Amino acid sequence: GALKLGFLMIVPKEHYLSVAQYPPALLKEYQQVCEDLEEILKNTFGAKIVTFFEHGTAPGGYTSHKKSIVHAHTHVVTDFIMEDKYKEMVQLKTIDDINVAAHTHYFSYQEGAHGDLQIAMDSEVYVQRQFPRQVMALQLGLAPGQYNWRHAAFHENSAATVYRLYTYLKTLQPKDGRLFERTHDFVIGYSQRDDVI
């Protein structure tokens, strides 16, 4: 459901229901991944901003739709800033520590890996799970309903995004440190695909 180029997800290998439930060591690694992705996406797409958002699920795992992914996943997208009227609509508030939401449903939003972390977790304010995708689709001028990944997969955006990332990442060298180390296996694996020129 990549609504545009430069749209990815961060998904942990181990099962957690939300970023707020990550243990400290994983949260530290997650923050590094956000920093790395921000740098990679800016270099790959010339992005001015990289935005991160998540719909965290409470420990009970209850979700509003039977097909929703009840596993932590953060959306990462280039050059998308939610307009203030939408932030106010869901009453986003700046917080210092995501762990305050570990025991509740929430929507988090952050412009830049080091930007203010904003969260909506008031039980009286319902934030529909695809709300940020609806807002993004509106701001991009997409047709009604195209926000919904169940009906509009946008496979071409996903494929083009991954290919562009590969094209950039294969230029990295060992001197590039953490970025090279963490992406080298992807570059090798992607280069062995049948559909890569």
pLDDT tens for 81-124 read 999 999 999 999 999 999 999 999 899 999 999 999 999 998 88
- Residue type for position 53: F
**Confidence bin at 126 (pLDDT 50/70/90):** confident
pLDDT tens for 17-70 read 999 999 999 999 999 999 999 999 999 999 999 999 999 888 776 655 566 668
Residues 6 or more apart whose CB falls under 8 angstroms from that of 163 comprise 196
**Confidence bin at 76 (pLDDT 50/70/90):** very high
